[in-house]
Chains A and B, each alone.
Chain A
Amino acid sequence: MAIVARSSKFSRIMWPTVAWIVALIFFFPIFWMVFTSFKTDADAVKPEFLFSFKPTLENYFNMTENYDYWRFAANSVITSSFATILALVVGVPAAYAMAFNPSRHTKDILVWMLSTKMLPAAAVLYPMTFLTKNMLGIYDTHFLVIVVLCLINLPIVIWMLFTYFKEIPKEIIEAGKMDGVDTWGEIKDILIPLAWGGVASTALLCFIFCWNEAYWTVRLTTTEAATLSKLIEGNRAPEGLFFGRLSAVSTAAVGPIIVLGWFCQKQLVQGLTFGAVK
């Protein structure tokens, strides 16, 4: 008995400690970035100033005054929101059809959609740039960024929605048919209310992915539709090691999404564990 008690007491202390250490290791780069953002560029590169330095908001003022932070932020909000809405507008009916009227090819289509994520983005960089810039003339527009963000997230959006919709008993949809709802009514009055948690976490995750997307947003924009990813990118290398400034920009870019994620934690966890509609 004593041994059991001791070992359980030991593990009660040990596992949280391990968890905290791992969490801190993961968190350290962010922690470091936030700290650095309050240092001058000169202080930022001196290792002895990790904790002892004179905090300054200079980087943040600099960012909003000289680097047009708010415009980039607005672009991020606009493109991520509309891309998410568009992904849901396309994804909900698609997932609905596959969940409740599956055909012989449904499984193949689902796998095929995911397989598009396996294509390296770099492989289509040239055609994408050429087509959008020289042929369609939509390079560096909100429209382009919205469509691209929507398309790259669509497979995961449809997969998630499909998984949630699958959990809804088919009979409930059939009861709706007996009661005389049309397809739109089924989606609006039965499906979405029942899978509300799933739809919300899908939307949230899609929004976060859009916000964080960097490969395409950096390469398909210059100024007009440039998002926060572009702002970070723009403050990176060329002029040397402006770590303070870069950190401020980065902090201001990831800040909103971390805050959003924090407030929606419960929703996200529920969403990512795929479950529990009934």
Chain B
Amino acid sequence: MASVTIRELKKAYGTTQVMHGVDLDINDGEFVVFVGPSGCGKSTLLRMIAGLEEITDGTVAIGDSVVNDVAPSKRGVAMVFQTYALYPHMTVYKNMSFGLKQAKTPADEIDRRVKAAAEVLQITDYLSRSPRNLSGGQRQRVAIGRAIVRDPEVFLFDEPLSNLDAGLRVQTRLEIARLHERLGSTMIYVTHDQVEAMTLADKIVVLRDGRVEQVGSPIHLYEQPDNTFVAQFIGSPKMNFFEGSDIVGNASTDITGIRPEHLRETDAANAMVSGKLELIEQLGEYALVHLTTSSGAEFIAKMEHPPSVGKGDTLHFNASQQLIHKFDKQSGQRRT
């Protein structure tokens, strides 16, 4: 097990800079999720930690030693790829043992470790099969198994669930969480899916255009987003933003952010924000009510009991003061 320390990390492809100086501290045993929209540099950052991508500037340290010039296999990390990247010409057993063999591990030790990992992942029955005869979910387990047998200090996952169907994704997500519990290793996990980030992470790192927007626990990011980007990226449906005039009695130009689940229906006299009903999405447990303010801004309210009014009628809402977020209109930064 080990901590990971990243300082002033930069990456450029030719003249295009894609990482602009990232600083990050990942504690020993922590489950850290890099999240952000596609193309923001999550994979690049992960691959620089893995050693698959050259570091343009800055340092990556694992434990106490800077690993910039250390070969991937010598960094004590193991990676699970989005496409699984199993060796198609080897059996599951060989796939899992290949790395240990390279490290000249004794055969009985290899056998013990592969069988133990297979046991945990319930793939013992497939050990002699070829990857091409496995389902997507089984391949994913083999890929995780291949990482486990190497007993790494740090696990790296690059969108490991994105090729699985929805049901399997939830199940595998749980298994990865259990695996972390069980092994206690440091894990770094890349995803563009904020739900995966929220459910798995001890600590979330929100990235955007090669920069860290905010680092914090899931609940911290949800309750105290540093800026409009994080505010809308974390939470689903995303946070509603209102311009000054949409909010009753508001004189400032700040953006007011209120999450759909924090809007409470009220009467006209107590209303903070009002809107015309456009559409109701009934989801059973709750309904998502889509509305438009008089200035034309769209927003969503999450309601347990959908209103018994028709399309075009006006609804009124307020929210408790501590659930209201204020952001500077120009910079998008949070007002304290």
Contacts and interface: CB of A to CB of B under 8 A. Distances in A.
Given A177-B72, A177-B73, A180-B99, A172 B50 contact: no
B81 to A, nearest CB: 5
Contact of A171 (B72, B74, B83): B83
B98 interface: yes
Interface in A145-195: 169, 171-172, 174-181, 185, 189-190, 193-194
Number of contact residues on B: which range applies? 20 to 34
B85 interface: yes
Interface in B23-55: 50-52
B88 to A, nearest CB: 7
B80 to A, nearest CB: 9
Contacts of B52: 174, 177-178
Interface string B125-154: 000000000000000000000100010000
A169 B77 CA distance: 21
B79 A178 contact: yes
Nearest to B98: A179
Contacts of A104: 14
A179 B73 contact: yes
Given A179-B98, A180-B71, A180-B73, A169 B83 contact: yes
Nearest to B103: A180
B229 interface: no
Contact of B99 (A172, A174, A179, A194): A179
B231 to A, nearest CB: 34
A278 B88 contact: yes
A278 B87 CA distance: 11
A278 B72 CA distance: 26
B322 interface: no
A171 B98 contact: no
B78 interface: yes
Contact of A180 (B14, B81, B102): B102
A123 B82 CA distance: 53
B85 A174 contact: yes
Contacts, number: 59
Nearest to B132: A278
A190 B83 contact: no
A194 B88 contact: yes
B182 interface: no
Given A193-B89, A278-B88, A175 B81 contact: yes
B307 to A, nearest CB: 50
Give the interface centre of A172, A176, A178 by most chain B CB atoms within 10 Å: A178
B85 A179 contact: no
A172 B85 contact: yes
Nearest to B104: A180
B79 A175 contact: yes
A178 B102 contact: no
Interface in A115-168: none
Given A174-B52, A194-B89, A278-B88, A179 B81 contact: no
Given A179-B99, A180-B103, A171 B73 contact: no
Contacts of B14: 104
17 contacts: A104-B14, A171-B85, A174-B85, A175-B81, A175-B87, A175-B146, A177-B52, A178-B52, A178-B72, A178-B73, A178-B79, A178-B99, A179-B73, A179-B98, A179-B150, A193-B89, A194-B88
Given A174-B85, A178-B78, 18 more contacts: A169-B85, A171-B81, A171-B82, A172-B86, A174-B79, A175-B87, A175-B146, A176-B87, A177-B52, A177-B72, A178-B79, A179-B99, A179-B150, A180-B74, A180-B103, A181-B102, A193-B89, A194-B88
Interface of B: 14, 50-52, 71-74, 77-79, 81-83, 85-89, 98-99, 102-103, 146, 150
Interface of A: 104, 169, 171-172, 174-181, 185, 189-190, 193-194, 278
